[in-house]
Amino acid sequence: MKLGAFSLSLNVSDIETSKQFYAKLGFEPFSGDQGQGWLMLRNGQTVIGLFGGFIQANTLTFNPGWDQNARDLDDYDDVRALQKRLKAQGITFVTEADETTTGPASFVIMDPDGNPILVDQHR
């Protein structure tokens, strides 16, 4: 199962304060719009997203079709194919991708401890 790029999406109360904190750990902004309330940071291959009010909880995020540098991959599992495989394994979904569409789509599942997992395909 090819889930694509991984990042941890953090629900933060103040993006600027969080950005400054993570800068001390070596993270640098590489994408996003702080004015809109979101910012992506990188330290080597490790990626975290800072989201002010966009998400309800800290979330594990996977992006099918992207590598860790947000570059398109030629070989990846489409989000709808991943969803079908997980459904066949008995996974319960919080939200689902429309399986009649193509292109960008997402779904959310929860791990056994209630941690949200977002699978978000941008292409």
Q: What is the chain's percent helix, strand, coil content, to nearest 5?
A: 20, 40, 45
Element (H, E) at 61: strand 59-63
- Surface-to-core class of residue 90, CB atoms within 10 Å of its CB (0-12 exposed, 13-18 middle, 19+ buried): exposed
pLDDT > 90 fraction of the chain, expressed in percent and rounded: 90
Q: Read off the DSSP letter of residue 36.
A: G
95/110 Cα distance (integer angstroms): 10
Residue type, 88: A
68, 47 contact by CB (below 8 A): yes
Number of domains making up the chain: 1
pLDDT tens for 4-49 read 999 999 999 999 999 999 999 999 999 999 999 999 999 999 999 9
pTM over 0.95: no
Look up the CATH number of the domain holding residue 37: 3.10.180.10
pLDDT of residue 101: 97
37/53 Cα distance (integer angstroms): 7
Domain containing residue 78: 5-121
